[in-house]
Chains A and B, each alone.
Chain A
Amino acid sequence: MTMKTVFQKTKGLTDKPTHYCPGCTHGVIHRLVGEVLEEMDILEDTIGVASVGCSVLSYEYFNCDMTQAAHGRAPAVATGVKRVRPDRFVFTYQGDGDLASIGISEIIHAAARGEKITVIFVNNAIYGMTGGQMAPTTLIGQKTATTPFGRNENIQGSPIRVSEMLSTLDGTAYIERVSTHDVPNILKAKKAIRKAFETQKKGLGFSMVEVLSTCPTNWGLDPQESLEWVRENMVPVYPLGVYKNKEGGN
């Protein structure tokens, strides 16, 4: 009797075991990106740019050519790659500390120039790798290593909504915020990532998918509680949906 293969790991990821904490959704998001690259049959034509933070080693997990950027600079590095090789697919994979804090200038200008790259922006409202410090996306009242009394609007200011901000720029072609807190949302996230790479394929401009993600280790919650926390606390501050769709349709 021959066995039928009903599921296998995407070719978009290598066999290297990831270093991510239990319950962290980086693994899920990696898989979604890997699956999209495989399904679009563009793995061999893609150059990824890894950033600094928890996902710094993503270059060991994505099964395509990768270059690793300095903290926050991935959109500038991706610009250099794409401008030399406009025939290739180029994506960055960045966390919220990297993209929204130290790299806010690079992301704004890459978006404003309409760089034909795809940005996977993983927002978990905290710095993970360095041990749970406040990020620009940390919620008001959220306790972190550097906001031990909770983020105070009068002291640390308010969270930055990157998708809303970038969607005001003419260079952006597709921007959507999705979440990973349950299966329907994960499936939606995959659809958004696919749409972003399709946008790049059509040369329409800058595309970004902001993915709400978890950090059980630094939030001090178990994996299940973390998913609940995203749904209850993050989604109201970071509403899900399409913020820019130059092309229209789905």
Chain B
Amino acid sequence: MGKVLMKGNEVIAESAVHAGCKYFFGYPITPQSELVAYMARRLPEVGGLFLQAESEIAAINMVYGASSTGARVMTSSSSPGFSLKQEGISYLVGSELPAVICNIVRGGPGLGNIQPAQSDYFQVTKGGGHGDYHIPVLAPASLQEIVELIQDAFDIADRYRNPVIIMGDGMLGQMMEPVEFTERPVSELPEKNWAATGTRGDGGPKIITSLELDADGLEKRNQHLQKKFAEMKEKEVRYETYKTEDADYIIVAFGTVARIAMNAMNKARQDGVKVGLIRPISLWPFPEKPFIETRDKVNMYISVEMSAGQMVEDVRLAVNGHAPVDFFGRNGGVVPTQEEIYHKIMMIAGGIQV
């Protein structure tokens, strides 16, 4: 199959279909509505089912039900709607149910606006719902990368029996780029013998629940979950580095912002400032290795975000006091420009404090 020109939200949907997702429960919200509409049209073609829920709350709980039967299932939303899904997401983790949830982030807080933002970083990486839990979060920077990461997301979800979040911003959802849907070999995944599909021929009843009234029992269950999170931290870290080998300054940015930052980086290099870039692809687990490898060599890290400064906290933890960490961001739906980032780099390189 050759390259096709598609919109980001549609690429997410088509990638999910390629990953074997047959069930989608969603609710319309800008700027991810094309994803829902695409699924409504596409899933019947592959013998699947799209259902428009009465709310994001109902949608995530339909996902819970579908996942209970072992189906590959997905939902998507944008910030205010994503907040409504938090209860269900906590239950998915507690009941160990796999699912893929997409958040095309828009400006907040509250109703905010419909422009691109990354201000849900805390919510997706630190756990937006109640209880001790983590969710792998993948942040693609291009439409081609979506194709890869959606497949990964479903595989990670099934492997660990845990939901996985795809975080994009409104820009990623709305932009058009040529993509190629490459066929990947099917991953080896554990059998879903836990699924509630009726007991005929499989012995005793199977129970899916997050309830454990006994404190010692719930602590044990939590220890089991923590063991899974530890394994994810070991095996599911994804990132890319650009020109960090000789860098005096390193920009840290994810998603579409990383692409803007890369242009600023290249321009600064033309002007003689050695700038590199670390692009976390998994926002959780956060990639610590590229920081450990560079933190004793660089003058400063600059976290560039479409927020008031959220990932910068994880950058500081990873750098752990070995080097200064600065921040540049625009928020409320304002996209930082290449010139602004370049200006920030040149001021820092010139020793100008602002």
List residues of chain A with CB under 8 Å of any chain B CB.
14, 43-47, 49-50, 56-57, 59-60, 62-70, 73, 76-85, 88, 105-106, 108-109
Contact = CB atoms under 8 A, between A and B. Distances in A.
Interface of B: 23, 25, 49, 51, 53-55, 57-59, 61-69, 71, 73, 87-88, 91, 95, 196-201, 205-211
A61 to B, nearest CB: 10
Contacts of B51: 79, 83
A47 B69 contact: yes
A44 B200 contact: yes
Given A66-B207, A76-B61, A81 B196 contact: yes
A109 B198 contact: no
Given A65-B199, A77-B62, A79-B51, 15 more contacts: A47-B68, A67-B64, A68-B207, A68-B209, A76-B57, A79-B58, A79-B65, A80-B23, A81-B66, A83-B23, A83-B65, A84-B66, A84-B69, A85-B69, A106-B54
A75 to B, nearest CB: 8
Contact of B62 (A43, A79, A88): A79
B196 A66 contact: yes
Q: Please list the 3 inter-chain residue pairs (A to B) with the smallest Cβ-Cβ separation, ordered nearest first.
A: A80-B65, A76-B61, A68-B209
A109 B208 contact: no
Contacts of A45: 198, 200
17 contacts: A46-B198, A56-B211, A59-B207, A65-B197, A67-B95, A68-B208, A70-B64, A70-B88, A73-B57, A73-B58, A76-B61, A80-B23, A80-B61, A83-B23, A88-B197, A105-B55, A105-B57
Contacts of A105: 54-55, 57-58
Given A63-B205, A68-B210, A83 B87 contact: no
Contacts of B58: 73, 76, 79, 105-106, 109
Contact of B65 (A14, A46, A50, A77): A77
Contact of A65 (B54, B66, B198, B211): B198
B65 A78 contact: yes
A105 B25 CA distance: 16
Contacts of A60: 207
A25 B271 CA distance: 80
A59 B88 CA distance: 19
A68 B71 contact: no
B61 A85 contact: no
B204 to A, nearest CB: 8
B160 to A, nearest CB: 19
B268 to A, nearest CB: 50
B64 A69 contact: yes
Nearest to A80: B65
A44 B199 contact: yes
A70 B69 CA distance: 17
A46 B199 CA distance: 8
Given A43-B199, A79-B51, A66 B62 contact: no
B76 to A, nearest CB: 16
Nearest to B197: A85
Contact of A68 (B55, B95, B198): B95
Tell which of A64, A67, A109 has the most Cβ of chain B within 10 Å: A67
Nearest to A65: B196
B142 to A, nearest CB: 32
A47 B198 contact: yes
Contacts of B206: 65-66
A45 to B, nearest CB: 5
Nearest to A78: B65
Tell which of A56, A66, A77 has the most Cβ of chain B within 10 Å: A77
Nearest to A112: B54
A109 B57 CA distance: 12
A205 B223 CA distance: 43
A64 B65 contact: no
B205 A14 contact: yes
A47 B196 contact: yes
B201 to A, nearest CB: 8
Given A67-B65, A77-B61, A106-B61, A44 B198 contact: yes
A80 B68 contact: yes
Contacts of B69: 47, 80-81, 84-85
A14 B207 CA distance: 13
A63 B197 CA distance: 13
Nearest to A66: B207
Given A67-B209, A70-B88, A106-B61, A80 B73 contact: yes
B196 A67 contact: yes
Contact of B63 (A62, A68, A80, A85): A80
Tell which of A57, A64, A83, A84 has the most Cβ of chain B within 10 Å: A84
Contacts of A66: 196, 205-209
A83 B49 contact: yes
A76 B65 contact: yes
Contacts of A62: 205
Contacts of A57: 211
B22 to A, nearest CB: 8
